[in-house]
Structure 1
Amino acid sequence: MDAAAPAIELDGLRRRYGHRLALDGVTLTLAAGQTLVVFGPNGAGKSTLLRVLATLLRPTDGVVRILGEALPERAWIVRGHLGLLTHEPLLYGDLSARENLRFHARLRGVPLQRVDDLLAEVKLERRADEPVHTYSRGMLQRTAACRAVLHDPALLLLDEPRANLDPGAIELLEPLVGRQSGRSRVVTSHDPAAGLAEADLVLGLKDGRTAFLAAPDELTPGAITDLYRT
Protein backbone atom coordinates (compact mmCIF):
# COMPACT_ATOMS: atom_id res chain seq x y z
CA MET A 1 0.00 0.00 0.00
CA ASP A 2 1.53 3.29 -1.19
CA ALA A 3 0.83 6.05 1.35
CA ALA A 4 1.64 8.70 -1.27
CA ALA A 5 -0.79 7.31 -3.86
CA PRO A 6 -4.13 8.95 -4.65
CA ALA A 7 -7.05 7.60 -2.67
CA ILE A 8 -8.89 6.72 -5.91
CA GLU A 9 -7.91 6.55 -9.57
CA LEU A 10 -10.52 5.70 -12.19
CA ASP A 11 -9.85 5.61 -15.91
CA GLY A 12 -12.72 4.69 -18.20
CA LEU A 13 -14.59 2.71 -15.54
CA ARG A 14 -17.50 0.74 -16.94
CA ARG A 15 -19.84 -1.61 -15.14
CA ARG A 16 -22.37 -3.55 -17.16
CA TYR A 17 -25.46 -5.47 -16.04
CA GLY A 18 -26.29 -7.61 -19.04
CA HIS A 19 -26.90 -5.16 -21.89
CA ARG A 20 -27.24 -2.13 -19.59
CA LEU A 21 -24.29 0.07 -18.70
CA ALA A 22 -24.70 1.22 -15.09
CA LEU A 23 -21.39 3.11 -15.30
CA ASP A 24 -20.02 4.28 -18.64
CA GLY A 25 -16.48 5.64 -18.83
CA VAL A 26 -16.09 7.32 -15.44
CA THR A 27 -12.62 8.87 -15.05
CA LEU A 28 -11.32 10.79 -12.02
CA THR A 29 -8.53 11.08 -9.45
CA LEU A 30 -9.14 11.80 -5.77
CA ALA A 31 -6.11 12.83 -3.73
CA ALA A 32 -5.48 11.30 -0.32
CA GLY A 33 -7.39 13.09 2.42
CA GLN A 34 -9.91 14.63 0.02
CA THR A 35 -13.69 14.18 -0.20
CA LEU A 36 -15.53 13.26 -3.40
CA VAL A 37 -19.26 14.01 -3.28
CA VAL A 38 -21.41 12.24 -5.87
CA PHE A 39 -24.77 13.61 -7.00
CA GLY A 40 -27.31 12.06 -9.34
CA PRO A 41 -30.91 10.87 -9.54
CA ASN A 42 -31.93 7.36 -8.57
CA GLY A 43 -30.50 4.92 -11.11
CA ALA A 44 -27.68 7.26 -12.12
CA GLY A 45 -24.99 4.81 -10.98
CA LYS A 46 -24.09 6.17 -7.52
CA SER A 47 -24.64 2.91 -5.66
CA THR A 48 -22.90 0.92 -8.38
CA LEU A 49 -19.89 3.20 -8.11
CA LEU A 50 -19.74 2.71 -4.34
CA ARG A 51 -20.02 -1.06 -4.73
CA VAL A 52 -17.16 -1.14 -7.25
CA LEU A 53 -14.99 0.98 -4.96
CA ALA A 54 -15.92 -1.28 -2.03
CA THR A 55 -14.72 -4.33 -4.05
CA LEU A 56 -18.26 -5.77 -3.96
CA LEU A 57 -18.60 -5.52 -7.77
CA ARG A 58 -15.93 -6.10 -10.39
CA PRO A 59 -15.49 -3.42 -13.05
CA THR A 60 -16.45 -4.60 -16.53
CA ASP A 61 -13.84 -2.39 -18.20
CA GLY A 62 -11.40 0.35 -17.30
CA VAL A 63 -8.79 0.92 -14.62
CA VAL A 64 -9.64 1.15 -10.93
CA ARG A 65 -6.99 1.80 -8.28
CA ILE A 66 -7.76 2.27 -4.60
CA LEU A 67 -4.92 3.56 -2.39
CA GLY A 68 -2.51 2.63 -5.18
CA GLU A 69 -3.78 -0.96 -5.52
CA ALA A 70 -5.43 -2.25 -8.69
CA LEU A 71 -8.92 -3.78 -8.60
CA PRO A 72 -9.96 -6.51 -8.77
CA GLU A 73 -6.49 -8.10 -8.61
CA ARG A 74 -5.54 -6.55 -5.25
CA ALA A 75 -9.01 -6.34 -3.73
CA TRP A 76 -7.98 -8.60 -0.85
CA ILE A 77 -5.49 -5.95 0.29
CA VAL A 78 -7.78 -2.97 -0.30
CA ARG A 79 -10.66 -4.36 1.78
CA GLY A 80 -8.73 -4.00 5.02
CA HIS A 81 -8.37 -0.25 4.44
CA LEU A 82 -12.00 0.57 3.58
CA GLY A 83 -14.90 1.66 5.76
CA LEU A 84 -18.40 1.28 4.30
CA LEU A 85 -21.55 2.99 5.61
CA THR A 86 -24.78 2.41 3.66
CA HIS A 87 -28.52 2.51 4.28
CA GLU A 88 -28.22 -1.03 5.61
CA PRO A 89 -26.39 -0.96 8.97
CA LEU A 90 -24.76 -4.39 8.38
CA LEU A 91 -25.37 -5.35 12.02
CA TYR A 92 -26.81 -8.50 13.60
CA GLY A 93 -30.19 -7.46 14.99
CA ASP A 94 -30.27 -9.89 17.91
CA LEU A 95 -26.83 -8.82 19.12
CA SER A 96 -26.16 -5.67 21.11
CA ALA A 97 -24.07 -2.80 19.79
CA ARG A 98 -21.19 -3.92 21.97
CA GLU A 99 -21.46 -7.54 20.79
CA ASN A 100 -21.63 -6.47 17.13
CA LEU A 101 -18.58 -4.24 17.43
CA ARG A 102 -16.59 -6.77 19.43
CA PHE A 103 -17.33 -9.39 16.76
CA HIS A 104 -15.94 -7.10 14.06
CA ALA A 105 -13.00 -6.12 16.26
CA ARG A 106 -11.99 -9.76 16.66
CA LEU A 107 -12.29 -10.33 12.92
CA ARG A 108 -9.97 -7.39 12.24
CA GLY A 109 -7.57 -7.81 15.15
CA VAL A 110 -8.64 -4.54 16.75
CA PRO A 111 -8.22 -4.12 20.55
CA LEU A 112 -11.57 -4.42 22.36
CA GLN A 113 -10.93 -1.12 24.16
CA ARG A 114 -11.51 0.55 20.80
CA VAL A 115 -15.14 -0.66 20.95
CA ASP A 116 -15.77 0.97 24.31
CA ASP A 117 -14.07 4.18 23.21
CA LEU A 118 -16.27 4.44 20.09
CA LEU A 119 -19.48 3.68 21.97
CA ALA A 120 -18.64 6.47 24.40
CA GLU A 121 -17.87 8.84 21.54
CA VAL A 122 -21.34 8.38 20.03
CA LYS A 123 -23.02 8.35 23.46
CA LEU A 124 -24.37 4.80 23.32
CA GLU A 125 -22.85 3.49 26.55
CA ARG A 126 -26.20 3.25 28.39
CA ARG A 127 -27.86 1.11 25.72
CA ALA A 128 -24.79 -0.61 24.32
CA ASP A 129 -25.86 -3.98 25.72
CA GLU A 130 -29.39 -3.98 24.28
CA PRO A 131 -30.22 -5.76 20.98
CA VAL A 132 -29.80 -3.38 18.09
CA HIS A 133 -33.20 -4.34 16.66
CA THR A 134 -34.65 -2.21 19.48
CA TYR A 135 -32.69 0.87 18.37
CA SER A 136 -33.98 3.97 16.64
CA ARG A 137 -32.73 4.86 13.17
CA GLY A 138 -30.27 7.34 14.65
CA MET A 139 -28.89 4.81 17.13
CA LEU A 140 -28.48 2.22 14.39
CA GLN A 141 -26.59 4.71 12.23
CA ARG A 142 -24.33 5.65 15.12
CA THR A 143 -23.53 1.99 15.72
CA ALA A 144 -22.97 1.38 12.01
CA ALA A 145 -20.60 4.36 11.88
CA CYS A 146 -18.60 2.85 14.73
CA ARG A 147 -18.40 -0.40 12.76
CA ALA A 148 -17.23 1.45 9.65
CA VAL A 149 -14.33 3.20 11.41
CA LEU A 150 -13.48 0.49 13.95
CA HIS A 151 -10.29 -0.52 12.10
CA ASP A 152 -9.22 3.08 11.32
CA PRO A 153 -9.72 2.83 7.54
CA ALA A 154 -7.91 5.11 5.11
CA LEU A 155 -10.94 5.48 2.81
CA LEU A 156 -14.59 5.86 3.80
CA LEU A 157 -17.42 5.04 1.40
CA LEU A 158 -20.59 6.74 2.61
CA ASP A 159 -24.04 6.37 1.05
CA GLU A 160 -26.10 9.38 2.22
CA PRO A 161 -24.70 9.06 5.75
CA ARG A 162 -26.91 11.81 7.24
CA ALA A 163 -30.23 10.72 5.71
CA ASN A 164 -33.11 10.68 8.23
CA LEU A 165 -30.87 11.75 11.13
CA ASP A 166 -31.64 14.53 13.58
CA PRO A 167 -29.11 17.32 14.18
CA GLY A 168 -27.85 15.71 17.38
CA ALA A 169 -27.02 12.42 15.66
CA ILE A 170 -25.36 14.26 12.77
CA GLU A 171 -23.15 16.18 15.18
CA LEU A 172 -22.07 12.96 16.91
CA LEU A 173 -21.16 11.31 13.60
CA GLU A 174 -19.07 14.16 12.22
CA PRO A 175 -15.81 13.30 14.04
CA LEU A 176 -16.12 9.68 12.86
CA VAL A 177 -17.20 10.00 9.24
CA GLY A 178 -17.23 13.74 8.47
CA ARG A 179 -14.44 16.00 7.28
CA GLN A 180 -13.17 16.13 10.86
CA SER A 181 -12.10 12.49 10.51
CA GLY A 182 -9.28 13.52 8.15
CA ARG A 183 -9.89 10.44 6.00
CA SER A 184 -10.33 10.20 2.26
CA ARG A 185 -14.06 9.94 1.60
CA VAL A 186 -16.62 9.24 -1.11
CA VAL A 187 -20.07 10.55 -0.16
CA THR A 188 -23.26 10.13 -2.16
CA SER A 189 -25.82 12.86 -1.58
CA HIS A 190 -29.08 14.42 -2.72
CA ASP A 191 -28.46 17.57 -0.63
CA PRO A 192 -26.63 20.17 -2.74
CA ALA A 193 -25.91 22.64 0.08
CA ALA A 194 -24.51 20.07 2.51
CA GLY A 195 -22.70 18.14 -0.20
CA LEU A 196 -20.94 21.14 -1.69
CA ALA A 197 -19.92 22.35 1.77
CA GLU A 198 -17.87 19.22 2.43
CA ALA A 199 -16.59 18.42 -1.07
CA ASP A 200 -13.15 18.86 -2.53
CA LEU A 201 -14.34 17.31 -5.80
CA VAL A 202 -17.90 16.95 -7.10
CA LEU A 203 -19.06 14.24 -9.51
CA GLY A 204 -22.43 14.45 -11.22
CA LEU A 205 -23.73 11.18 -12.66
CA LYS A 206 -26.62 10.76 -15.06
CA ASP A 207 -27.47 7.47 -16.78
CA GLY A 208 -24.11 6.13 -15.66
CA ARG A 209 -22.13 8.86 -17.39
CA THR A 210 -20.19 11.82 -16.01
CA ALA A 211 -22.33 14.93 -16.35
CA PHE A 212 -19.70 17.05 -14.60
CA LEU A 213 -16.55 16.68 -12.53
CA ALA A 214 -15.28 19.83 -10.83
CA ALA A 215 -14.30 21.55 -7.63
CA PRO A 216 -17.35 23.06 -5.87
CA ASP A 217 -16.45 26.64 -6.82
CA GLU A 218 -16.07 25.67 -10.48
CA LEU A 219 -19.61 24.35 -10.92
CA THR A 220 -21.97 26.34 -13.08
CA PRO A 221 -25.22 27.59 -11.47
CA GLY A 222 -27.91 24.95 -11.70
CA ALA A 223 -25.50 22.12 -12.57
CA ILE A 224 -26.77 19.89 -9.77
CA THR A 225 -30.48 20.64 -10.22
CA ASP A 226 -30.12 19.91 -13.95
CA LEU A 227 -29.12 16.34 -13.07
CA TYR A 228 -32.57 15.68 -11.64
CA ARG A 229 -34.48 16.98 -14.64
CA THR A 230 -35.74 14.37 -17.06
Structure 2
Amino acid sequence: MGIGPALAVSGLYKRYGDLVAVDGVSFEVSEGEFFGILGPNGAGKTTTLEIAEGLREPDAGSVRLLGEAPWPRNLALLPRIGVQLQASAFFERLTAREQLETFGALYGVGSARVGEMLELVGLSDKASTPEAKLSGGQRQRLSIACALVHDPDVVFLDEPTAALDPQARRNLWDVLREVQARGKTIVYTTHYLDEAEVLCDRVAIMDHGRILALDAPARLVRDLDAATRVILERGVLPAEQARVLPGADSVTEDEQSLTISTRTAAPLLSALAERGTLGGLQVRTATLEDVFLDLTGREYRA
Protein backbone atom coordinates (compact mmCIF):
# COMPACT_ATOMS: atom_id res chain seq x y z
CA MET A 1 0.00 0.00 0.00
CA GLY A 2 1.10 3.55 -0.68
CA ILE A 3 1.71 6.34 1.80
CA GLY A 4 -1.21 8.58 2.75
CA PRO A 5 -4.93 8.17 2.07
CA ALA A 6 -6.32 7.85 -1.42
CA LEU A 7 -9.68 8.92 0.02
CA ALA A 8 -10.34 10.91 3.20
CA VAL A 9 -13.94 11.51 4.29
CA SER A 10 -14.61 13.70 7.33
CA GLY A 11 -17.89 14.58 9.07
CA LEU A 12 -20.06 13.93 6.01
CA TYR A 13 -23.78 14.83 6.14
CA LYS A 14 -26.49 14.56 3.50
CA ARG A 15 -30.21 15.14 4.08
CA TYR A 16 -33.20 14.64 1.79
CA GLY A 17 -36.10 16.45 3.44
CA ASP A 18 -36.66 14.73 6.80
CA LEU A 19 -34.41 11.80 5.87
CA VAL A 20 -30.79 11.99 7.04
CA ALA A 21 -29.12 9.74 4.47
CA VAL A 22 -25.54 10.32 5.70
CA ASP A 23 -25.06 11.30 9.32
CA GLY A 24 -21.52 12.35 10.28
CA VAL A 25 -19.56 9.72 8.32
CA SER A 26 -15.75 9.76 8.56
CA PHE A 27 -13.18 7.27 7.24
CA GLU A 28 -9.96 7.03 5.27
CA VAL A 29 -8.90 4.61 2.53
CA SER A 30 -5.20 3.96 1.96
CA GLU A 31 -3.63 3.76 -1.48
CA GLY A 32 -3.88 0.21 -2.81
CA GLU A 33 -6.51 -0.81 -0.27
CA PHE A 34 -9.68 -2.80 -0.98
CA PHE A 35 -12.26 -1.02 1.18
CA GLY A 36 -15.86 -2.18 1.53
CA ILE A 37 -18.94 -0.28 2.70
CA LEU A 38 -21.62 -2.65 3.98
CA GLY A 39 -25.11 -2.04 5.24
CA PRO A 40 -28.80 -2.91 4.79
CA ASN A 41 -30.99 -1.17 2.24
CA GLY A 42 -31.22 2.54 2.98
CA ALA A 43 -28.10 2.59 5.16
CA GLY A 44 -26.52 5.43 3.14
CA LYS A 45 -23.88 3.41 1.28
CA THR A 46 -24.62 4.62 -2.24
CA THR A 47 -25.07 8.25 -1.18
CA THR A 48 -21.71 8.16 0.60
CA LEU A 49 -20.09 6.67 -2.48
CA GLU A 50 -21.66 9.25 -4.82
CA ILE A 51 -20.44 12.13 -2.63
CA ALA A 52 -16.93 10.64 -2.58
CA GLU A 53 -17.02 10.35 -6.38
CA GLY A 54 -18.08 13.98 -6.77
CA LEU A 55 -21.54 13.12 -8.12
CA ARG A 56 -23.40 14.70 -5.19
CA GLU A 57 -22.77 17.73 -3.03
CA PRO A 58 -22.65 17.07 0.73
CA ASP A 59 -24.63 19.29 3.10
CA ALA A 60 -21.63 19.37 5.43
CA GLY A 61 -18.25 17.74 5.85
CA SER A 62 -15.33 17.30 3.48
CA VAL A 63 -13.92 14.79 1.02
CA ARG A 64 -10.36 14.63 -0.27
CA LEU A 65 -9.94 12.27 -3.19
CA LEU A 66 -6.31 11.78 -4.24
CA GLY A 67 -5.57 14.97 -2.33
CA GLU A 68 -8.23 17.08 -4.07
CA ALA A 69 -11.86 18.03 -3.47
CA PRO A 70 -14.18 16.12 -5.86
CA TRP A 71 -16.97 18.73 -5.52
CA PRO A 72 -17.63 21.05 -7.32
CA ARG A 73 -17.08 18.60 -10.18
CA ASN A 74 -13.30 18.36 -10.43
CA LEU A 75 -12.31 17.71 -14.04
CA ALA A 76 -8.68 17.10 -13.05
CA LEU A 77 -9.78 14.03 -11.07
CA LEU A 78 -11.79 12.38 -13.83
CA PRO A 79 -8.84 10.66 -15.57
CA ARG A 80 -7.69 9.30 -12.20
CA ILE A 81 -10.93 7.67 -11.02
CA GLY A 82 -13.13 4.92 -12.40
CA VAL A 83 -16.80 4.59 -11.49
CA GLN A 84 -19.16 1.65 -11.93
CA LEU A 85 -22.68 2.55 -10.83
CA GLN A 86 -25.47 0.23 -9.64
CA ALA A 87 -27.24 0.55 -13.00
CA SER A 88 -24.88 0.41 -15.98
CA ALA A 89 -25.80 2.10 -19.25
CA PHE A 90 -24.15 1.16 -22.54
CA PHE A 91 -24.30 2.58 -26.04
CA GLU A 92 -26.89 0.81 -28.18
CA ARG A 93 -25.88 -1.63 -30.92
CA LEU A 94 -22.18 -1.61 -30.07
CA THR A 95 -20.10 -4.73 -29.49
CA ALA A 96 -18.12 -5.28 -26.31
CA ARG A 97 -14.95 -4.01 -28.00
CA GLU A 98 -16.73 -0.99 -29.48
CA GLN A 99 -18.15 -0.12 -26.05
CA LEU A 100 -14.66 -0.09 -24.58
CA GLU A 101 -13.21 1.80 -27.53
CA THR A 102 -15.88 4.47 -27.12
CA PHE A 103 -15.24 4.87 -23.40
CA GLY A 104 -11.49 4.79 -24.02
CA ALA A 105 -11.70 7.48 -26.69
CA LEU A 106 -12.99 9.91 -24.05
CA TYR A 107 -9.59 9.59 -22.36
CA GLY A 108 -7.38 9.16 -25.44
CA VAL A 109 -6.90 5.44 -24.83
CA GLY A 110 -5.63 3.30 -27.72
CA SER A 111 -6.80 -0.08 -28.97
CA ALA A 112 -3.99 -1.96 -27.20
CA ARG A 113 -5.43 -0.95 -23.84
CA VAL A 114 -8.90 -2.06 -24.96
CA GLY A 115 -7.58 -5.51 -25.78
CA GLU A 116 -5.85 -5.69 -22.41
CA MET A 117 -9.07 -4.85 -20.59
CA LEU A 118 -11.06 -7.45 -22.53
CA GLU A 119 -8.50 -10.05 -21.51
CA LEU A 120 -8.49 -8.90 -17.88
CA VAL A 121 -12.25 -9.36 -17.51
CA GLY A 122 -12.35 -12.55 -19.55
CA LEU A 123 -14.25 -11.16 -22.54
CA SER A 124 -11.67 -11.53 -25.32
CA ASP A 125 -13.81 -14.19 -26.97
CA LYS A 126 -16.86 -11.90 -26.74
CA ALA A 127 -15.18 -8.83 -28.25
CA SER A 128 -17.40 -8.94 -31.35
CA THR A 129 -20.61 -9.76 -29.47
CA PRO A 130 -23.19 -6.96 -29.19
CA GLU A 131 -23.53 -5.82 -25.60
CA ALA A 132 -27.26 -6.65 -25.61
CA LYS A 133 -26.44 -10.34 -26.22
CA LEU A 134 -24.04 -10.66 -23.30
CA SER A 135 -25.13 -12.48 -20.15
CA GLY A 136 -25.67 -10.59 -16.90
CA GLY A 137 -22.27 -11.58 -15.58
CA GLN A 138 -20.57 -10.63 -18.84
CA ARG A 139 -22.26 -7.23 -18.82
CA GLN A 140 -21.07 -6.62 -15.26
CA ARG A 141 -17.51 -7.50 -16.27
CA LEU A 142 -17.78 -5.20 -19.29
CA SER A 143 -19.03 -2.42 -17.01
CA ILE A 144 -15.98 -2.84 -14.79
CA ALA A 145 -13.71 -2.87 -17.84
CA CYS A 146 -15.23 0.46 -18.92
CA ALA A 147 -14.46 1.86 -15.46
CA LEU A 148 -10.85 0.65 -15.77
CA VAL A 149 -10.06 1.31 -19.41
CA HIS A 150 -8.29 4.63 -18.72
CA ASP A 151 -6.12 3.06 -15.97
CA PRO A 152 -7.52 5.04 -12.99
CA ASP A 153 -5.83 5.14 -9.59
CA VAL A 154 -9.07 4.74 -7.60
CA VAL A 155 -12.02 2.56 -8.64
CA PHE A 156 -15.52 2.96 -7.16
CA LEU A 157 -17.81 -0.05 -7.54
CA ASP A 158 -21.43 0.03 -6.34
CA GLU A 159 -22.71 -3.53 -5.82
CA PRO A 160 -20.76 -4.93 -8.80
CA THR A 161 -21.86 -8.52 -8.17
CA ALA A 162 -25.56 -7.85 -7.56
CA ALA A 163 -27.93 -10.31 -9.29
CA LEU A 164 -25.10 -12.52 -10.53
CA ASP A 165 -25.20 -16.30 -10.21
CA PRO A 166 -22.61 -17.89 -7.87
CA GLN A 167 -20.23 -18.84 -10.69
CA ALA A 168 -20.31 -15.39 -12.29
CA ARG A 169 -19.82 -13.80 -8.87
CA ARG A 170 -16.73 -15.92 -8.15
CA ASN A 171 -15.33 -15.11 -11.59
CA LEU A 172 -15.75 -11.43 -10.84
CA TRP A 173 -13.89 -11.87 -7.55
CA ASP A 174 -10.86 -12.99 -9.55
CA VAL A 175 -11.12 -9.84 -11.69
CA LEU A 176 -11.29 -7.61 -8.61
CA ARG A 177 -8.29 -9.35 -7.02
CA GLU A 178 -6.32 -8.77 -10.21
CA VAL A 179 -7.31 -5.10 -10.25
CA GLN A 180 -6.03 -4.64 -6.70
CA ALA A 181 -2.86 -6.60 -7.53
CA ARG A 182 -2.15 -3.91 -10.14
CA GLY A 183 -1.92 -1.37 -7.32
CA LYS A 184 -5.37 0.15 -7.67
CA THR A 185 -7.45 1.40 -4.75
CA ILE A 186 -10.93 -0.12 -4.70
CA VAL A 187 -13.89 1.32 -2.79
CA TYR A 188 -17.07 -0.68 -3.13
CA THR A 189 -20.44 -1.53 -1.65
CA THR A 190 -22.02 -4.96 -1.47
CA HIS A 191 -24.78 -6.92 0.25
CA TYR A 192 -22.73 -10.12 0.09
CA LEU A 193 -20.99 -10.53 3.46
CA ASP A 194 -18.99 -13.60 2.38
CA GLU A 195 -17.65 -11.60 -0.54
CA ALA A 196 -16.56 -8.70 1.67
CA GLU A 197 -14.91 -11.09 4.12
CA VAL A 198 -12.83 -12.63 1.32
CA LEU A 199 -11.95 -9.52 -0.70
CA CYS A 200 -11.72 -6.54 1.65
CA ASP A 201 -8.73 -5.35 3.63
CA ARG A 202 -11.15 -3.34 5.80
CA VAL A 203 -14.89 -2.78 5.90
CA ALA A 204 -17.17 -0.09 7.29
CA ILE A 205 -20.58 -1.31 8.44
CA MET A 206 -23.22 1.40 8.04
CA ASP A 207 -26.80 1.75 9.19
CA HIS A 208 -29.13 4.78 9.34
CA GLY A 209 -26.43 6.92 7.75
CA ARG A 210 -23.77 6.18 10.38
CA ILE A 211 -20.72 3.95 10.54
CA LEU A 212 -21.24 1.42 13.33
CA ALA A 213 -17.92 -0.42 12.99
CA LEU A 214 -14.79 -0.14 10.86
CA ASP A 215 -11.89 -2.59 10.81
CA ALA A 216 -10.46 -5.63 9.07
CA PRO A 217 -13.13 -8.36 8.73
CA ALA A 218 -11.15 -10.85 10.83
CA ARG A 219 -10.76 -8.30 13.64
CA LEU A 220 -14.45 -7.47 13.65
CA VAL A 221 -15.29 -11.17 13.88
CA ARG A 222 -12.80 -11.73 16.69
CA ASP A 223 -14.09 -8.76 18.67
CA LEU A 224 -17.65 -10.12 18.47
CA ASP A 225 -16.60 -12.94 20.82
CA ALA A 226 -19.33 -15.19 19.46
CA ALA A 227 -19.67 -18.85 20.37
CA THR A 228 -18.49 -21.67 18.13
CA ARG A 229 -21.25 -24.05 17.08
CA VAL A 230 -20.53 -27.78 16.82
CA ILE A 231 -23.26 -29.52 14.82
CA LEU A 232 -23.91 -33.28 14.95
CA GLU A 233 -26.45 -35.39 13.12
CA ARG A 234 -29.50 -36.06 15.31
CA GLY A 235 -29.25 -39.37 17.15
CA VAL A 236 -25.44 -39.54 17.16
CA LEU A 237 -25.30 -38.30 20.76
CA PRO A 238 -28.19 -37.88 23.25
CA ALA A 239 -28.78 -34.26 24.22
CA GLU A 240 -28.44 -35.01 27.95
CA GLN A 241 -24.94 -36.43 27.35
CA ALA A 242 -23.99 -33.47 25.17
CA ARG A 243 -24.91 -31.01 27.93
CA VAL A 244 -22.32 -32.44 30.34
CA LEU A 245 -19.42 -32.51 27.89
CA PRO A 246 -16.45 -30.27 28.81
CA GLY A 247 -16.80 -26.88 27.13
CA ALA A 248 -20.51 -27.26 26.28
CA ASP A 249 -22.30 -23.97 27.03
CA SER A 250 -25.71 -24.81 25.57
CA VAL A 251 -27.34 -27.54 23.50
CA THR A 252 -30.21 -27.22 21.04
CA GLU A 253 -31.86 -29.90 18.95
CA ASP A 254 -34.15 -30.00 15.93
CA GLU A 255 -35.41 -32.71 13.59
CA GLN A 256 -32.12 -32.99 11.71
CA SER A 257 -29.29 -32.03 14.05
CA LEU A 258 -27.97 -31.37 17.53
CA THR A 259 -26.01 -28.14 18.04
CA ILE A 260 -23.57 -27.54 20.89
CA SER A 261 -22.48 -23.92 21.50
CA THR A 262 -19.05 -23.43 23.07
CA ARG A 263 -16.38 -20.81 23.68
CA THR A 264 -13.76 -23.50 24.40
CA ALA A 265 -13.96 -25.76 21.37
CA ALA A 266 -10.77 -27.80 21.94
CA PRO A 267 -11.88 -29.81 25.00
CA LEU A 268 -15.34 -30.28 23.51
CA LEU A 269 -13.98 -31.69 20.25
CA SER A 270 -11.55 -33.89 22.18
CA ALA A 271 -14.41 -35.32 24.23
CA LEU A 272 -16.45 -35.96 21.08
CA ALA A 273 -13.45 -37.71 19.48
CA GLU A 274 -13.16 -40.02 22.51
CA ARG A 275 -16.80 -41.00 21.97
CA GLY A 276 -16.23 -41.63 18.26
CA THR A 277 -18.81 -39.05 17.23
CA LEU A 278 -16.75 -36.94 14.78
CA GLY A 279 -18.27 -38.48 11.65
CA GLY A 280 -20.35 -35.88 9.80
CA LEU A 281 -19.57 -33.25 12.44
CA GLN A 282 -19.59 -29.58 11.40
CA VAL A 283 -17.84 -26.74 13.21
CA ARG A 284 -19.14 -23.23 12.51
CA THR A 285 -17.33 -20.19 13.84
CA ALA A 286 -18.55 -16.59 13.69
CA THR A 287 -18.41 -14.77 10.36
CA LEU A 288 -18.73 -11.20 9.17
CA GLU A 289 -22.44 -11.89 8.71
CA ASP A 290 -22.77 -12.47 12.47
CA VAL A 291 -21.07 -9.11 13.11
CA PHE A 292 -23.36 -7.42 10.59
CA LEU A 293 -26.53 -8.84 12.13
CA ASP A 294 -25.34 -8.06 15.64
CA LEU A 295 -24.87 -4.40 14.69
CA THR A 296 -27.81 -3.82 12.34
CA GLY A 297 -30.45 -6.25 13.63
CA ARG A 298 -32.28 -9.07 11.92
CA GLU A 299 -35.51 -7.44 10.81
CA TYR A 300 -36.26 -7.44 7.08
CA ARG A 301 -35.95 -4.12 5.26
CA ALA A 302 -37.33 -3.57 1.76
State TM-score, norm by structure 2.
0.69
Q: Which runs of 4+ in 1 moved over 4 A?
A: none
Quote how far apart the aligned CAs of 1:145 are.
1.4
Residues 12-63 of structure 1 show CA distances to partners (whole Å, capped at 9, x for unaligned) of 0111223321101001111111121111110000111111122111111001
Identity over aligned pairs, percent: 35
Q: Per the alignment, do residues 228 and 110 of structure 1 end up closer, same or farther by CA in structure 2, a change over 3 Å counting?
A: farther
Please say if residues 5 and 67 of structure 1, whose CA atoms lie closer than 8 Å, have aligned partners that are also in contact. no
Q: Per the alignment, do residues 164 and 193 of structure 1 end up closer, same or farther by CA in structure 2, a change over 3 Å counting?
A: same
After TM superposition, the structure 1 = structure 2 runs for residues 70-81 of structure 1, keeping only pairs within 5 Å, are 70-73=69-72, 75-81=74-80
Count residues with an aligned counterpart: 228
Please say if residues 202 and 214 of structure 2, whose CA atoms lie closer than 8 Å, have aligned partners that are also in contact. yes
1:14 is paired with a residue whose SS is strand
2:40 is paired with a residue whose SS is coil
Quote how far apart the aligned CAs of 1:193 are.
2.4
Quote how far apart the aligned CAs of 1:131 are.
2.0
CA RMSD of aligned residues (A): 2.1
Please say if residues 35 and 187 of structure 2, whose CA atoms lie closer than 8 Å, have aligned partners that are also in contact. yes
Quote how far apart the aligned CAs of 1:80 are.
1.9
Please say if residues 54 and 72 of structure 2, whose CA atoms lie closer than 8 Å, have aligned partners that are also in contact. no
Structure 2 unmatched ranges of 5 or more:
225-289
Q: Per the alignment, do residues 166 and 30 of structure 1 end up closer, same or farther by CA in structure 2, a change over 3 Å counting?
A: same
Residues 53-87 of structure 1 show CA distances to partners (whole Å, capped at 9, x for unaligned) of 22111111001111111231462222221111233
Please say if residues 12 and 26 of structure 2, whose CA atoms lie closer than 8 Å, have aligned partners that are also in contact. yes
In 2, Cα distance between equivalents of 1:107 and 1:10: 28
In 2, Cα distance between equivalents of 1:103 and 1:12: 38
1:184 partnered with 2:219? no
Question: Which AA in structure 2 matches 1:33?
Answer: G
After TM superposition, the structure 1 = structure 2 runs for residues 4-153 of structure 1, keeping only pairs within 5 Å, are 4-73=3-72, 75-153=74-152
Question: Which AA in structure 1 matches 2:293?
Answer: T
The structure showing larger relative contact order (alpha-carbon pairs under 8 Å, at least 6 residues apart) is 1
State TM-score, norm by structure 1.
0.89
Q: Per the alignment, do residues 27 and 202 of structure 1 end up closer, same or farther by CA in structure 2, a change over 3 Å counting?
A: same
Question: Which AA in structure 2 matches 1:67?
Answer: L
Deviates more, 1:207-216 or 1:168-177: 168-177
In 1, Cα distance between equivalents of 2:108 and 2:7: 26
Structure 1 unmatched ranges of 5 or more:
none
